[in-house]
Structure 1
Amino acid sequence: MTQPILDLKDVTLSLKGNAGMVEILHGIDLSVHKGETLGLIGPSGSGKSSLLMVMGGLETATSGSVLALGQDLTAMDEDAMARFRRAHMGVVFQSFHLIPTMTALENVATPLELAGENNAYQRAEAELEAVGLGHRADHYPAQMSGGEQQRVALARASVTRPEILLADEPTGNLDGANGQAIIDLLFGLRDRHGATLVLVTHSRELAAKCDRVVRLTDGHIADTALKAAE
């Protein structure tokens, strides 16, 4: 079998809270292979989002190893991690995290500009067209609906053609119709670009579309299945 695109060994995460250090993740062992779609499910506070953040280097594991594309994320400083993430990962958040003073087109072009790409705006325009928002390119986030903002966030995450796409509750702030549209777009991006997709979700429908589902409870992996339970 080929080397996992993401490989976590005995990962723990402790964060400082009001009452001292809080243990979030406990001895996580998890591998994700190229082209796989993995759903992370579990009750609120189970550590799903924290695990996703560790996978993306947005949180540094307290102990253990986190390999992405064979590179040890825990050994990277903040600048090296930012460069690695920019080159190889796309991240989509529940709350969109668009830059409010930039248009949709400028938001999507930003990661390409940071990477020094000369055709950043042409590629950003094409990506907005791909998510059905070419006509909203000059609009600012405040002028768009939640569903439209999440489409822009998806376009921004995918415009660099990342090998790994991480999504944290991508349908959590959307109604049923918009949520379904985002699900279709996410899996369409995976199919078009061959990205490995890891997503945190409370949506049974979204989890059921994944190749494999991992359930977390109190910072531990409780069980894993090739398909979500009906």
Structure 2
Amino acid sequence: MPTPVLTLENAALTLNGNAGPIEILHDITLSVGGGESLGLIGPSGSGKSSLLMLMGGLERASAGRVTALGHDLTTMDEDALARFRRDSMGVVFQNFHLIPTMTALENVATPLELAGHRDAFGRAEAELDAVGLSHRRDHYPAQLSGGEQQRVALARASAPRPRILLADEPTGNLDEANGAAIVDLLFGLRDRHGATLILVTHSRGLAARCDRVVRLRDGRITEDTAQEAAE
């Protein structure tokens, strides 16, 4: 395996529910190498998205340790985690999470501006062009199709050149044709920027394109399999 960029050591996640604490993840030990593509699969409720949230510091481990790019995420406060994600991670959600009052270009440029990039809008234009949406740069999310909104979300996630790219069911709200196009773009962005790609999916076809697949059930890893990525 290439040098690990993300490591979980006996990580667990417990959340408080109305009926008391709920154990979501149990004793997760996992390393992800630089430039690797990793698919997280399993039935609904198995803990896939929760594991992705732990990896991105969006949930804090209740036990164990999560280390990303040499930083212990379990000891960082919320402000430090937010800065780390801004500078080192890109996150793509199933529901896009675009800012409705901003154009496609502004949505992509905003995280670059927050990070202090001098040519935020120039880079944002280049990223929109890379996902085939330069002609929609001045349109608002409500004026875009679901597939186009997800392309904007991909451009926004990749624009800061993150070393780690996380995707939670990126094709879940799209039809087959748009989903396939998003998958091609996702792996293309990974290849173009050399990022490590970790994605949650129910799609066997999408999982088959990954270098490695981790299967979860009831909050535990039940299988960790390296495979040949599809051409």
Q: Within 5 A, what are the aligned runs for 1:33-48?
A: 33-48=33-48
- 1:148 aligns with 148
* SS in structure 1 of the partner of residue 28 of structure 2: strand
Offset of residue 227 of structure 1: 2.8
- Ranges in structure 1 where 5+ consecutive residues have no aligned partner: none
Offset of residue 3 of structure 1: 3.7
C-alpha distance in 1 between matches for 2:196 and 2:158: 12
- Does residue 99 of structure 2 align to residue 99 of structure 1? yes
C-alpha distance in 2 between matches for 1:17 and 1:142: 34
C-alpha distance in 2 between matches for 1:119 and 1:224: 41
C-alpha distance in 2 between matches for 1:68 and 1:82: 13
Per-residue CA deviations over 1:187-228 (Å, capped at 9, x if unaligned) read 001111100000000011100000000000000001111139
- Does residue 162 of structure 2 align to residue 170 of structure 1? no
Output the TM-score relative to the length of structure 1. Answer: 0.98
- 2:108 aligns with 108
Per-residue CA deviations over 1:135-181 (Å, capped at 9, x if unaligned) read 00000001100000000000000000000000000000000000000
Runs of at least 4 residues off by over 2 Å: none
- Does residue 199 of structure 2 align to residue 199 of structure 1? yes
* SS in structure 2 of the partner of residue 5 of structure 1: strand
Q: Within 5 A, what are the aligned runs for 1:49-64?
A: 49-64=49-64
C-alpha distance in 2 between matches for 1:2 and 1:178: 32
- Does residue 159 of structure 2 align to residue 187 of structure 1? no
- 1:66 aligns with 66
* SS in structure 2 of the partner of residue 22 of structure 1: strand
Letter in 2 for 1:141: P
C-alpha distance in 1 between matches for 2:137 and 2:9: 42
- 1:19 aligns with 19
Offset of residue 2 of structure 1: 5.3
- 2:77 aligns with 77
C-alpha distance in 1 between matches for 2:35 and 2:118: 29
Output the TM-score relative to the length of structure 2. Answer: 0.97
- 2:6 aligns with 6
C-alpha distance in 1 between matches for 2:85 and 2:7: 16
C-alpha distance in 1 between matches for 2:208 and 2:179: 14
C-alpha distance in 2 between matches for 1:190 and 1:112: 18
- Does residue 208 of structure 2 align to residue 219 of structure 1? no
Alignment: residue pair count: 228
CA RMSD of aligned residues (A): 1.0
Letter in 2 for 1:95: N
Letter in 2 for 1:177: A
- Ranges in structure 2 where 5+ consecutive residues have no aligned partner: none
Per-residue CA deviations over 1:93-121 (Å, capped at 9, x if unaligned) read 00000001110000000110001111000
C-alpha distance in 2 between matches for 1:65 and 1:101: 38
Per-residue CA deviations over 1:5-43 (Å, capped at 9, x if unaligned) read 000000000011121110000000000000000000000
